[in-house]
Amino acid sequence: MNKRVYLGMIGDIMHPGLINIINEGAKYGEVIIGLFTDKAIATHQRLPYMTYDQRKNVIENIKGVSQIVPQDEWSYVPNLLKYRPDYIIHGDDWCEGVDSELRQQVFDTMEQIGGKVIEIPYTKGINSSSLDKEIKKLGTTPDIRLKTLRRLIAAKPIVRILEVHDGLSGLIVENLEAERGTSKVSFDGMWSSSLTDSTSKGKPDIEAVDLTTRMQDLNNILECTTKPIIYDGDTGGKPEHFVFTVRTLERNGISAVIIEDKIGLKKNSLFGTEAIQTQDSIEGFCHKIRMGKEAQITKDFMIIARCESLIAGKDVEDALQRCLAYVDAGADGIMIHSKEKTGEDIKAFCKAFRKHHPAVPIVVVPTTYNHIKESELAKWGVNVVIYANHMLRAAYPAMMKCAESILQNERSLEANPLCMPIKEILELIPGTK
């Protein structure tokens, strides 16, 4: 009986290094490819460019591959215990960093099942990470960006979105990574906030900035990023006008628009009952949703209905009644909003809504209940968390402090610790140097 060789692979960007590993594995026996699912990849790093089926179709046609099985976790252990290979092949690039713990788990498991780990030198000069960076430099297309949000929601326990208001803040969301335990974490997409858009222009958050103006600024973000964007559509305006908003956003590759069920002059929801907050009728808002859905061209664009019942001082039952109607009208997801600091009303809503719709995406903006972690929100049934205004809120105090220092000291020397070194900012944007 032939020996069995296990090889875990993402297979999103094929290159000579991966072919080399497959060829090396074939020397020891029949090669079983543990192909990481979208879910397994997305919980650890970026969403793959190709779907699982597309990647499987490519790899199963590579010489030396005997079998492909799904690997549903970043950890190899479940599949190693299930398939009990004689060997596992891996490049030696996992000896340090976040994957070193994973490596030790593999060694322990293979010893348990009587197998052997074979490490081969990583192919120099080429790897998936460097190729990914080069692909990002090329940018993306509206069609690809548009589809990504739905894929992320399907693949990840919770999708992490951060507010952006210009190209520079967009680049931060695009490129920033941090280590959390054994995983690398990053933001999955961007939120184009009406609050930060208007505030950055010195205008009130009352829908004073029109769609055309906002799209001009949004184009600056689209040009230097690839991740999906959710657009804050405020009330959506008149149903007849909302139709054109949907068409414009979809054409430009925006993944989703969120509109709130309020009428009249828009006031920021965080004012709560301190400002006049008039909700639309259920029938009126459902009509707007239906018109928007009829206007879109693709199945990928999402219209997410934002319910303001809890903001307006109403109870969870009122919010539930409204949101069930919005889904029936065609809404692709629900955003439930609250200014309460405990988050208990949000939790109660999510649990009640999930009894009716186990799979319809729920979006939250935990500005006031920001002590609750993403993992807990996911347990409630939340799919998307939006950090809605933090980039602008962080930038303003920093700029104020810098300006004050210059005024107080008659020079900028004392402000140096507050500022990015000029050399770094010259190298920040590709093509500047």
pLDDT, one tens digit for every residue, the chain (433 residues): 589 999 999 999 888 888 888 999 999 999 999 999 999 999 887 889 899 999 999 999 999 999 999 999 999 999 999 999 999 999 888 887 778 888 999 999 999 999 999 998 876 656 666 656 666 666 799 999 999 999 999 999 999 999 999 999 999 999 999 988 767 899 999 999 999 999 999 999 888 899 999 999 999 999 999 999 999 999 999 999 999 999 999 999 999 999 999 998 777 766 656 667 789 999 999 999 999 999 999 999 999 999 999 999 999 999 999 999 999 999 999 999 999 999 999 999 999 999 999 999 999 999 999 999 999 999 999 999 999 999 999 999 999 999 999 999 999 999 999 999 988 888 888 777 6
What distance in Å separates the CA atoms of residue 91 and residue 8, rounded to the nearest whole number?
10
In a shared domain, residues 122 and 158: no
Would you say residue 116 lies in a domain? Answer: yes
DSSP 367: S
In a shared domain, residues 173 and 283: yes
In a shared domain, residues 218 and 316: yes
What distance in Å separates the CA atoms of residue 347 and residue 361, rounded to the nearest whole number?
15
Would you say residue 433 lies in a domain? Answer: no
The total number of structural domains in the chain stands at 3
Catalytic residue (choose from 38, 188, 197, 205) = 205
Residues near 104 by beta carbon (within 8 Å), at least 6 away in sequence? none
Phi, psi of 294 (to 5 degrees): -70, -25
Residue 311 corresponds to which amino acid?
A: I
In a shared domain, residues 331 and 409: no
Of 84, 90, 83, 86, nearest in space to 104 by CA: 90
Q: What is the reported pTM? A: 0.89
> Is residue 205 among the annotated active site residues?
yes
Domain of 341? 139-199+208-388
Q: Which two tokens stand for residue 53?
A: 């089926």
Domain boundary among 130, 156, 187: 130
In a shared domain, residues 172 and 70: no
In a shared domain, residues 163 and 114: no
Whether the CB-CB separation of 162 and 374 falls below 8 Å is answered with: no
In a shared domain, residues 58 and 183: no
Would you say residue 291 lies in a domain? Answer: yes
